[in-house]
């Protein structure tokens, strides 16, 4: 999962991009990058680390220009190298730089076609570089010294016909302007807005989440539609076009469960309200299955994402809500860390129990989801160590049984605790006295409960194994397992960062 932002302004965009990336920092803490455009030249700074660590004053001063894009990311395999931080750049045609959130499920086939037929060299294992070169090839085929907005949309339409998977893209085309487009199912989020500059001109921003816009004083225009591209030329004229027919409008439901900030609005759906309703639905299920004599003394969230759901759950059950865990905010997310032992150790560094809230009580711990189960097991043990008499556990999401193929580094099926285990078996493994999951239909109802969204459904593949874009078979999942498994990650040589799907080019040169 990554965060992208693009800005077309009447003033220098370096600070605007920096501020927007800090608002999107939750979407990736491994690397950050900014590219700006001025007088036909691109200025780039990217490196491993948090936004505040990557951009020093000396870097900001060099990022000149009134157009720019930015990116934050986390790695999906192994450790990391700044060589694969984004944005990526290709010099022909025009000079194009691109940042991408999502995953191309046909990246390997595209990479081979790019090498064999398009004569384009890939320097990394990133599917984002594949996407950039596909765009560059289609722009090259225009065979024009300068491309109009219609020409650019024609090229993007050709790109759509070649890509499979999920993507939210921002790109700068030197001498032309800012381009953005979204996958035909709208799986990955993308939203744009505007504001008036001091000189009266209109400025535009496009980003992964609305908080990046509103935090910088932009008002929301709308979400980029599935299959739609927007282009802002160097004269700040906004052009939009539906480049391909949208498919079923199905954003990723896990954005609302976990990834997005609660103050974001995505596809006209409030993330905060969705999480409130998740807590309400879960409370109803507890009453149905455990009864009113549920024996819960206190509800405690596992910081931070589950707070909203836990608060509403406690309210509906008329039970005390307490903060029982204090969080060290300088520790990264554990489920993306390479290696079970590192994740296990990180949990104890990340959270510290407050004994006063646990001693002698039956506590209900609420989390947004259960993935591997490693974190849950450690936290439940921490609650017991703090004096809890009984520890119950509730997940605001259904059991995660299948890997994600659209840009979230969900582990392979064999590493998902709910895959192949019943609820009772999971309860026993994580060490809880009771365990309850959200029902999938209740989760969908919680997120979709709005009159203003045009969403037709959701990508729920991690829960039900139904991959919205199709063409995901056992062979692909086996390939993904070979790339994502703990064994594969720890066995990789050197230091590297593999963007959402690693591209295997083994044997391509030999075939030629």
pLDDT, one tens digit per residue, over 135-156 is: 999 999 999 999 999 999 999 9
pLDDT digits (tens, 9 = 90+) for 416-465: 999 999 999 999 999 999 999 999 999 999 999 878 889 999 999 999 99
> Distances from the Cα of 120 to the Cαs of 1, 90, 97, 133, 506, in angstroms?
26, 10, 15, 7, 16
> How far is the C-alpha of 487 from the C-alpha of 203, rounded, in Å?
48
Stated as kind and residue range, the H or E segment containing 230 is strand 228-233
Q: What is the DSSP letter of 252?
A: B
pLDDT of residue 338: 46
Q: 2 an active-site residue?
A: yes
> How far is the C-alpha of 314 from the C-alpha of 323, rounded, in Å?
12
> Distances from the Cα of 361 to the Cαs of 321, 324, 387, 449, in angstroms?
13, 12, 8, 35
> pTM of this prediction?
0.91
Q: How confident is the model at residue 508 (pLDDT cuts 50, 70, 90)?
A: very low
Residue carrying structure tokens 């874009």: 469
| The pLDDT of residue 502 is above 60 | no
Strands (E), 67-164: 67-73, 88-90, 96-104
To the nearest whole number, what is the mean pLDDT of the chain? 90
pLDDT digits (tens, 9 = 90+) for 177-219: 999 999 999 999 999 999 999 888 999 999 999 999 999 999 9
In this structure, are residues 484 and 76 in contact, taking their beta carbons and an 8 Å threshold?
Answer: yes
pLDDT digits (tens, 9 = 90+) for 263-278: 999 999 999 999 999 9
Stated as kind and residue range, the H or E segment containing 366 is strand 362-367
pLDDT digits (tens, 9 = 90+) for 295-325: 999 999 999 899 999 999 999 999 999 999 9
Catalytic option among 2, 243, 252, 376: 2
């Amino acid at each position: 999962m990554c965060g992208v932002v693009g800005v077309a302004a009447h003033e220098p965009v370096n600070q605007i991009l920096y501020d927007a990336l800090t608002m999107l920092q939750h979407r990736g803490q491994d690397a950050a990058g900014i590219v700006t455009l001025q007088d036909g030249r691109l200025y780039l700074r990217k490196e491993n680390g948090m936004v505040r660590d990557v951009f020093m004053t000396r870097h900001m001063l060099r990022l000149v220009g009134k157009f720019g894009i930015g990116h934050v990311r986390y790695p999906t395999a192994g450790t990391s190298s700044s060589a694969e931080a984004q944005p990526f750049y290709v010099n022909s045609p025009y000079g194009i730089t691109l940042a991408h959130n999502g995953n191309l499920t046909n990246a390997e086939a595209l990479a081979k076609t790019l090498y064999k037929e398009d004569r384009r060299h890939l320097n990394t294992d990133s599917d984002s570089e594949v996407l950039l070169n596909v765009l560059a090839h289609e722009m090259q085929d225009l065979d024009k010294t300068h491309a109009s907005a219609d020409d650019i949309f024609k090229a993007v339409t050709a790109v759509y016909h070649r890509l499979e998977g999920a993507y939210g893209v921002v790109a700068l085309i030197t001498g032309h302007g800012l381009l953005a487009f979204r996958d035909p199912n709208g799986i990955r989020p993308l939203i744009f807005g505007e504001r008036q500059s001091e000189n009266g001109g209109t400025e535009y921003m496009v980003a992964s989440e609305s908080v990046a816009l509103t935090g910088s004083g932009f008002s929301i225009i709308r979400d980029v539609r599935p299959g739609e591209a927007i282009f802002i030329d160097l004269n700040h004229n906004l052009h939009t076009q539906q480049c391909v027919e949208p498919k079923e409008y199905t954003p990723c439901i896990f954005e609302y469960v976990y990834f997005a900030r609660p103050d974001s609005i995505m596809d006209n759906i409030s993330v905060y309200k969705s999480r409130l309703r998740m807590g309400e639905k879960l409370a109803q299920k507890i009453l149905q299955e455990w009864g009113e004599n549920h024996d819960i003394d206190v509800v405690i969230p596992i910081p931070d994402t589950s707070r909203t759901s836990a608060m509403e759950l406690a309210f509906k059950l008329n039970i005390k809500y307490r903060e029982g865990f204090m969080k060290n905010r300088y520790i990264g997310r554990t489920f993306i860390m390479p290696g079970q032992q590192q994740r296990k150790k990180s949990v104890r560094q990340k959270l510290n129990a407050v004994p006063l809230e646990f001693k002698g009580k039956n506590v209900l711990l609420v989390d947004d989801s259960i993935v591997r189960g490693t974190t849950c097991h450690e936290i439940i043990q921490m609650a017991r160590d703090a004096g809890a008499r009984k520890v119950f556990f509730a997940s605001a999401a259904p059991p995660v049984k299948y890997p994600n193929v659209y840009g979230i580094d969900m582990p392979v099926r064999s590493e998902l605790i709910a895959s192949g285990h019943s609820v009772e078996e999971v309860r026993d493994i994580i060490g809880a006295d009771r365990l309850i999951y959200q029902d999938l239909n209740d989760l969908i109802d919680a997120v979709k409960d709005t009159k203003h969204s045009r969403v037709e459904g959701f990508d729920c593949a991690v829960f039900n194994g139904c991959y919205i874009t199709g063409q995901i078979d056992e062979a692909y999942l086996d390939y993904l397992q070979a790339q994502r498994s703990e064994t594969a990650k720890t066995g990789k040589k050197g230091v590297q960062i593999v963007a959402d799907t690693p591209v295997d080019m083994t044997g391509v040169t030999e075939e030629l």
